[in-house]
Amino acid sequence: MDKKKLVVLTGAGISAESGIKTFRDHNGLWENHDVTEVASPEGWARDPHLVLEFYNQRRKQLFECEPNPGHKGLVELEKHFDVQVITQNVDDLHEQAGSSHVLHLHGELKKVRSTKDESLVYELEGWELNWGDTCEKGAQLRPHIVWFGEAVPAIEEAIDIVHQADIFAVVGTSLNVYPAAGLLNYVRSGVPIYIIDPKQPAYQPTSQITFIQENAGTGVPKLIKLLTS
Ligand code: APR
């Protein structure tokens, strides 16, 4: 018998206990940086060195981080379900934990791409991408990240995956950023939704939504108990 499809939308919160800053919590990344300066095409055009340094620092930090029980719990769930992770995160902690199916909506920190031909994507050796590092066509390389104002190429694929979910979970995202946040609208009616976040959501849980007000590290193990007992 085929396993039920469990689709999990994750955000910065699932990596918080691994030591990676979220964006909109107190002392979050966006409190220390102006998004338009370091995460937009305009910022790149204005000062590419600042942008390269911003992502070099985040990449350097990632090398010191490892998956936490939240990431590992999603791998555990693969014993019981066909698990598909759709993440807004650009770290590779889901992959490091061993998740089999991970779709990155906002790009990947350890990848870079040509500014001349966006189909030319490369795994970065080490943590530094510098001005003058070029692709095979001689064009400057940029972070393989979806910046504010840029399209989210994987969103159609993500919508298809959400449509097929038998169970849907949301872990560690403020659901502030579209189109990612809009994925919730594509969950079929009657499909149970579980939301794991230490902060109370803006809306009241419905009969379809179960809210687990916990950090990912304890909330995901609770979800495993709920789904497998
Ligand atoms: N475990 C689970 N959730 C947590 C934890 C934790 N330990 N700590 C914080 N959270 C929750 C916060 O309560 C918040 O709801 O994680 C969420 C983090 O929200 P954001 O900082 O807005 O991060 P995210 O939702 O992933 O941002 C989406 O915005 O800046 C862009 O491209 C960037 O992918 C990012 C997107």
The CATH number of whichever domain residue 134 belongs to comes to 3.30.1600.10
Concerning whether 101 is annotated as a catalytic residue, the answer is: no
Residue 53, CB half-sphere, CA atoms under 13 Å: how many?
A: 7
Is the domain of 121 the same as that of 196? no
E-state strands within 11-131: 82-87, 102-104, 107-114, 121-123
Number of compact structural domains in the chain = 2
Q: Are residues 191 and 220 in the same domain?
A: yes
Q: Are residues 129 and 202 in the same domain?
A: no
- Which structural domain range is residue 115 located in? 21-64+111-145
- Choose one of 87, 119, 145: the last residue of a domain: 145
Q: Given 101, 106, 144, 163, which residue is catalytic?
A: 106
**116 and 100 fall within a common domain:** no
Distance from chain centroid for Cα 185: 18
Beta pairing, strands 141-145 & 107-114: antiparallel
Residues 52 and 156 in one domain: no
Residue 204 sits in a domain whose CATH number is 3.40.50.1220
Whether ligand 1 lies within 6 angstroms of the CB of 143 is answered as: no
| Same domain (yes/no): 211, 125 | no
Q: What is the pLDDT along the chain (229 residues), one digit of tens a residue?
A: 799 999 999 999 999 999 999 999 998 999 889 999 999 999 999 999 999 999 999 999 999 999 999 999 999 999 999 999 999 999 999 999 999 999 999 999 999 999 999 999 999 999 999 999 999 999 999 999 999 999 999 999 999 999 999 999 999 999 999 999 999 999 999 999 999 999 987 767 688 999 999 999 999 999 999 999 9
CB 106 less than 6 A from any atom of ligand 1? yes
126 and 28, same domain (yes or no): yes
Position 201 scores a pLDDT of 74
How confident is the model at residue 214, as a pLDDT? 97
Token pair belonging to 161: 């995956």
* Claim to verify: residue 228 and residue 204 sit in the same structural domain: yes
Could you tell me if 125 and 220 lie in one domain?
A: no
Quick one: 131 and 198 in the same domain?
Answer: no
Q: Looking at the structure, do residues 95 and 26 belong to the same domain, yes or no?
A: no
Quote the pLDDT of residue 176: 92
pTM, to two decimals: 0.97
8 Å CB contact between 93 and 66:
yes
25 Cα: distance to centroid of ligand 1 (angstroms):
7
Strand locations in the chain (E): 5-10, 82-87, 102-104, 107-114, 121-123, 141-145, 167-171, 193-196, 209-212
Residues 80 and 191 in one domain: yes
C-alpha of residue 107 to centroid of ligand 1, in Å: 16
